[in-house]
Amino acid sequence: MQKPRQKRFLYKGYGVALAATFTKPHSEYLEAQAPVSLPGTGGSSSAVVENFHFRNIVSFRRACSHATGAHNSESGAFNTLVTTHIEGFNILGVLTADRIVARLASKHFIDPPKGTNQIPDPSFPTLGSHIDNLRIAGHKIGLTLDLGPLSEWDTYAKALDGCHKRGTGYRLAGPTIITSIFSKVETDLPHDGNRIDFPEFGSIYLGELYMDADERRLTMIRFELGCSYAGSGSGGDVGGNGQPVPPDH
């Protein structure tokens, strides 16, 4: 018997523990480590990599990524969760971190929840993301998490309103809001907002968050090397959204 045509939800969730492109001393790619991606129908995706070393440039002890997408029949919500977790992260012995965790959850509705007549805006909290014991050339980096982008600004409307009220700490690229999950970076190294510069090494960007109406992307550490080793890459990168699609015709 053929099922009646109905609306359905198209899941989207992805995560990568580490990836990079280098131009010096060799032009080469560091392929994505512990990548995960959800199919449109949801489900689960996992990956683990242990004791990784790339040409004595980047290493970690263990990295794992996980993505899930499932429908909650009681609330009517379509939920997605993507996480990456890196232990023992090291770049050239200069940047080190005991643990890097990136976490992005999302909740979508394709029909109004029970007892209501309006479909809520998509919700995207990043609460649970953090970096433990980050050091650059032995300098301890103090990081203060920002509950605005982490949890309070879970919808795009709240994020836009929250940023406008603050007036600083964000920028716009068209409709995309670019900010950081860290409200304060404390270090005696040269820095500007969430960016830290170290001579003969490069620049490090912390907790970058890109927010659109229907999608978010979080990168916990992005590095731009500019020394004997040149290139760019990221550690702890997660993103996703999801969208309803009309019934099949």
Dump pLDDT digits (tens) for 108-121: 998 898 888 999 99
pLDDT at 3: 60
pLDDT at 243: 73
pLDDT at 241: 84
Q: Are 108 and 78 in contact (CB under 8 A)?
A: yes
**What would the two tokens of residue 140 be?**
């301890």
State how far the alpha carbon of 164 is from the alpha carbons of 148, 154, 179, 215, in Å. 12, 15, 12, 20
Query: Which amino acid is present at 83?
Result: T
Low-confidence ranges of the chain (pLDDT < 50): 249
pLDDT at 53: 96
Total number of residues shown for the chain: 249
pLDDT at 214: 87
pLDDT at 249: 42
pLDDT at 207: 98
For residue 42, report the phi and psi dihedrals to the nearest 5 degrees: 85, -160
Cα 95–chain centre separation: 19
